Structures are given as structure tokens and as C-alpha cells.
Structure 1
């Protein structure tokens, strides 16, 4: 399945690809049918994505998603389902306690911290579809990048709503999106 994710990521226009497998006999907690593969993709062409999935997922293994693409290869037709996650724009407020590091260097300024959070929540590091905004997620991003910081409180909201204490639920058919201008960091 990692080969499938890599092949999808290499397609023109694809900015996110994640593969999920359910080997069980029944649907899992995300709703993926038993003995099925779910592929979530942002960007790219549906037909090209479906042809790539078809090359890695053999007939008899189901696909799961909210978008159906009909494919035909050498006269054989097959429906391939993919997840096209709804992009949910979020706003984030993070309160941190800062201390100098062990060498006496001062902690980074709030805009630098916000940029680090944005980097940890976008691109190749972006949280997967269906991943909630939690204190743990933000704490891991902040405290691993800046060991002299301690996350005190995290608030998040779906734009235009006012941010409230996390967790902020994101469904399996959704994916969060954030930009640095929607991250407010308060340093104490």
C-alpha cells in the first residue's frame, strides 16, 4: 500500500495521498467496508488516480470512498471509489509558556512559532483526513520543534466560527487546512 501512496503522490497535481486498508470482515470505525482499500486524494485527475489504483488493487478487493470513477482497461470495466476529502479551513489559537534553552538562548518569537505550527500541519507532514485537531497534535508539533516551549492551551474552530477548546472533530471525509495567518500564538 505504501507503493500505491507513492505512485499517487507522483501524479501531476496530487498534493495529498493516503491509503487505508481494512482486512477485517466488517466495516471499521471509519466506515471502510471489510476487505477494502480506501484512498484519499487531494488534487490530480480522477481518471489518472483510478487507473493508478487499479494497477495496485486487484479485482475482488473493494474500494471505498465518496467519489466513483469508471475505468476501462482492455475492454474490462471497473468502478473505483476514491475519497475526495472536503477541505475544512481552521483557525488555531495556541498559548505557550516559554523558557530560555539550556544554553541561555531566548525562545522564538510568536510569529516563528506560528510558522512552525503551519509547517507541521501542511505539506508532507499534514495530518491525514479524519484526524481531529487535538492538544496532543499541536503539542507534538510545537514541543518537538521548540523544546523550550510548553503548550498550555489550544483552541480551534472551523472558519468563521470562534475557536474553542480542542478537540475539534474532523470526519473521515474531511481534512483540515490551515495557513500561518490563521494561527495566533500567545507566549507567556
Structure 2
């Protein structure tokens, strides 16, 4: 994953993925930074937090790289972003995102501590840019995406971010549902 388009408030770590075969999914796992909780405004930075906000999104390739939006006539729209409050964490504070098709969604969502992210229904073979975003990391949080130099190799990002670095694997849906993320080599 590479640091993309940093600015004073945000830094993004991203990688390009193509949807795997029909019986496979992409699993992304890492430690979640501690965001601000609650909906009330407050002084920033706050104690016991790492970032103001973080998210993981799937975007389509191309010039503009829009977020994946799958619209359905008979079901709610499925957006390709999950923010920190919308992400399941295990009891150690790790997230596991599973990127799959909308047809795989109901099966993926039965897996404990897993958060589904969709591939595009309209453009299933288009490369997808997956982005991890850190907004306003606190100065004392050394594992932020903001600390990864632009255009540095993945090994550098992994060293800087430590357990917060998102590890990406392709896994069979059967292994994921049978054994959870552990079935995918976790």
C-alpha cells in the first residue's frame, strides 16, 4: 500500500485490487487507530485517541476514482466506504474488511468481527483503489498513514505502521466462513 494525496489533515494509504474469482474474496486486516467517539463536538486533540477519524473505501479506477456505489431497484444503495464507527473490531482492536461481490455479501456478513466492502456491480473487472484514511492524527501517534513518505515501498509503510499496516490476502469464501479470518492465514 502506498501513501497517496496527503494534505495537512488527511493521509491515505492505498493499493490497487482486481476482484478475484467467483469463489474468492479479498481480506484486509490491521489494528484500528483509536478515534474520537460520540457525536458531540469537543476539543481536539483528545486524550486516549490516535486520530479524529479513519475509514476504508473502495474506489473505481480511472481519472476521477469515484467511491463504489451499487444502486438497486429493490434494495438499499450499497456504498464502498466504511468509517470507524461502521467497522467491526475484534476484542484486540483489529479490523477485518472483506471485499467481495454483492452476491457474497450476506455470507460475508455472517462472519464474526468482519466488515463487508463491495466491489462494483457495474464495473466488476475494473481495478479498484482501496484507501485507508487517517484524519487528523495526533502528534504522538507514530503509526499513522501520515508518517508514511509518499511513494515509499510497502515494506517502509509496514515498518512505520507496525500492526496498523493493512495486510491484504486473497482467500476462498469457504475458508473465510468456516474458520473466520484465521481460515485465510491469519
TM-score by length of 2: 0.23
Higher relative contact order (CA 8 A, sep 6+): 2
Normalising by structure 1, we get a TM-score of: 0.23
Structure whose CA Rg is larger: 1
